[in-house]
Amino acid sequence: MKPVELDLSTLIFVVGTRVALAFGVGLFVADHIPPERRRALALSLIGIGAATTIPAALAVFGPRRAVTLTTEAPDDVFEASQR
């Protein structure tokens, strides 16, 4: 398996979509909530989880972007602070 590095926001997005999908399925089979409310809530969560599956997969398996982090301020910011 190929290792994948994700930034924190992408990781939260991917995990959140999986949680919504799993929680929706769990609600769908649970019987602690009245059936009408449970069905509406479960289908909403399943829909959100399913609709965000493709963007989440693209975020993880799509083309990689090179990210360069610098610790120095750009020259124009330094010059603006000198004024």
Burial label, 48 (beta-carbon count in 10 A; 0-12, 13-18, 19+): middle
Long-range CB contacts (within 8 A, 24+) of 68-73: none
Is residue 43 within 8 A of residue 24, CB to CB? The reply is yes
**What kind and span of H or E run contains 25?**
helix 8-29
pLDDT tens per residue, range 49-60: 888 888 888 888
Tens digit of each residue's pLDDT (9 = 90 or more) over 15-64: 888 888 888 888 878 877 788 888 888 888 888 888 888 888 888 887 76
When pLDDT is averaged across residues 60-76 and rounded to a whole number, the result is 63
Instruction: Report the C-alpha dihedral over residues 58, 59, 65, 66, rounded to 10 degrees.
Output: -150
Distance CA 54, CA 4 (A): 17
Where exactly are the structural domains of the chain?
Answer: 8-82
The structure's pTM equals: 0.55
